[in-house]
Structure 1
Amino acid sequence: MKRFIIMMVGKTHSGKTSFAKELENSLEQAVMIDQDTHAFFLQNHYPKLIPKTGSNDLKHAITQTIVDYTVNETDAHLILSNANLERSSRTRLLNYYQEREFTSIIVYFDLPETLLRERIARGNRDAVILRTVSSFEQVLDRQMRLGKAEEPSADEADHLLVIRDVNDLGYIMVKILNTVQN
């Protein structure tokens, strides 16, 4: 069976997790990996183990264990729902899967900053998982500074799909389902 790695790329509040959940529900053999879930788990059950500064190595280890199990012990496709904004990190992740003969799809959420700021203002996401900043506004500010230099390009994956408008969501979902199921 041909296996896929489907990587969501985009700024905070762009809809990556919602889209990934819907995709996971639409694909019979797919597992969504979301580090925010692991961060909430640690915050709720092991808050004393969360470092005050530096990398959250425990969160990354939990994520990697789940990924390794999924890759090595199942036939499932993987859906990664993280920001994945830095090209070097995306490349490292995609190389891991391509070495294991996964076909890669990047779904890039390139929505207007004004929409993201509106969503943050209206939203009620718990900021407890944020460690280096105190709000999602600050997360978006930092992500905006990364700018266009880190946008995904067609040479990074087997397929690159771009969502520039919320009206693109349905079309992109169908395109992914057709690609994976055929």
Structure 2
Amino acid sequence: MKRLAILTVGKTHSGKTTFARELERCLPESVVIDRDDLAGFINTRYESLLPKQGANTLKDALTRTLVDYAVHESEKHIIMCNNYSNREGRLRMLDWFHQKGLVSVLVYFNLPDELLYSRIASSERSTAILRKSKSFDVVLTRQIADLQKGHAEPSTERESEYLFVINDSDEVPGTIQKIVQIAGGKSM
């Protein structure tokens, strides 16, 4: 069995978490590590430990601990669910997974910004995960600006062993089937 490290890449409300949870359901022996879940946990339980400014180093440390544990203490496929728009950080993470013998899969969500704003408008998602922004509209606007300024970069084929680009939500089931097949499982 190939052991996979799957990273979802994309803007807020593009469907990364929904995809990750469905993939986890279809891919035996997999675990989702969702940084939004970790942020919500930290922001509601350990707010006093959060850095006053700068990067959320507490969330980063918790993520590293969970990933390290999943890699070394389990045989599970790892599904990393977050924005992962910074190429340098993505490459560091992928390199680490490669060193540990995992096969890398990137799933890049490239949905139209208008659709994402529409999803935000009708979303009931809690803003408890947010630390710097007051709303997901602000998060999306910042993510779009980061892409335009070159601070964030879309995924490319050179970064991982497998790359899937989701341009439409209808592509999700087929992408999940292909990833299950890569892992050596049967398609659903």
**TM-score normalised per structure 2:** 0.93
Q: Could you list the runs of 4 or more consecutive aligned residues of structure 1 that deviate by over 6 angstroms after TM superposition? A: none
1:58 and 1:146 map into 2 onto residues whose CA distance is 23
Gaps of 5+ in 1: none
Do 2:10 and 2:109's aligned partners in 1 also have CA atoms closer than 8 Å?
Answer: yes
Match of 1:25 in 2: 25
Q: Separation in 1 of the partners of 2:147 and 2:58?
A: 29
Cross-structure match for 1:14: 14
**For 1:111, what is the secondary structure of its paired residue?**
coil
CA contact (8 A) 2:105 2:162 kept: yes
Q: 1:70 to 1:115 in 2, by over 3 A?
A: same
After the TM superposition, which of the residue ranges 47-56 and 59-68 deviates more from structure 2? 47-56
1:156 aligns with 2:159: yes
| Aligned-partner Cα distance in 1 for 2:41–2:168 | 32
Higher relative helix content: 1
State the partner residue of 1:114. Answer: 114
Match for 1:180 among 174, 177, 183?
183
Aligned residue for 2:158, secondary structure, equals: helix
The amino acid across from 1:49 in the alignment is: L
Q: Counterpart of 1:154 in 2: which secondary structure? A: coil
Q: CA deviation at 1:147?
A: 2.4
Task: Pick which of 140-149 and 73-82 moved more.
Answer: 140-149
Aligned residue number for residue 131 of structure 1: 131
The size of the alignment, in residue pairs, is 182
**Residue identity in the other structure for 1:32:** V
Question: Is the CA contact 2:127–2:134 (under 8 Å) kept in the aligned structure 1?
Answer: yes
Give unmatched runs, 5+ long, in structure 2: none
The residue that corresponds to 2:102 in the other structure is 102
The TM-score with structure 1 as length reference comes to: 0.96
* Partners of 2:44 and 2:128 within 8 A in 1: no
1:92-129 CA deviation, whole Å, 9 max, x = no partner? 11011011111100000000111100000000111122
Alignment of 1:161-172 (within 5 A): 161-172=164-175
Q: Which amino acid in structure 1 is aligned with residue 103 of structure 2?
A: T
Q: Percent identity?
A: 42
